[in-house]
Amino acid sequence: VVLLADRIAGYFIAVVLVLAAITATLWWQRDMYFAIDSAIALLVVTCPCALAIATPLAFTVAVGRAAGRGILVKGAHSLETLTGRGTIFLDKTGTLTEGRMELEAFEGPAELRSAILGLERHSRHPVAAAFAQAWADVEPREVAEYEETLGGGLRGRVDGRELIVGRPEWVLARSARVAESLQGASLLDARLTPVLIAVDGEVVARAGFGDPLRGTAKGMIGELQAHGWEVRL
């Protein structure tokens, strides 16, 4: 749209300059001053501001307003593309979801929560933050011999017992057995990120973490579909 306006403006200006020259020539023999005034008036009235300035300004304002709402538009051509219909791909994490981990399921003894919090409060991992947010009313216990393995999990001693919290394969590699209550099918949703908890070499609990859906995601997708877009994830 902007390039079309620029091309039209180029021809428009050339025609206006020719008309201004003809106007000045026709009036020059009668009144030199009136001829100059008429030529200038013609140039002022026909100034192509709407083509050369207003069109790109409209795109600039639109991009600025989108940025104010947290939407980054790479260029004006992206806005022009959105005026059509087609397939739109949406990223999940942070776009349709909140972009943060949340404890959605826990299987294990309730009294174990305070020990887990005592261990997790020493970590800055998103899982630790999710545990703390979910169990904000639980008082964490004191932990000794704290150790954190990147990409694995946490290990420490609580009340003289070894506590391990982390990725399933990492925890299982450091555990001798799994409690009978956890040997059956898991109640955790398959879409959740699993975390195992072991005490003194025995896996006694598991937790599932997910990324909560934004409250406006469903309505936004429905509105896009109503406008003729095919939405894909």
Residues carrying an active site annotation? 91
Rounded CA Rg of the chain: 34
- Structure-token pair, residue 36: 């100059």
CB-CB contact of 201 with 178 (8 Å) = no
- Residues 55, 59, 62, 64: is their CA dihedral positive or negative? negative
The closest of 100, 99, 94 to 129, measured between CA atoms, is 100
Burial of 165 (0-12, 13-18, 19+ CB in 10 A): buried
CA 14/CA 155 separation, integer angstroms:
78
Tokens describing residue 89? 């791909």
- Encode burial over 24-42: b for 16+ CB neighbours within 10 A, e otherwise: beebeeeeeeebeebbeeb
Which residues share a beta bridge with 105?
Answer: 208
Distance between CA atoms of 194 and 107, rounded to whole angstroms?
11
Could you give the CA distance from residue 62 to residue 59 in angstroms, rounded to a whole number? Answer: 5
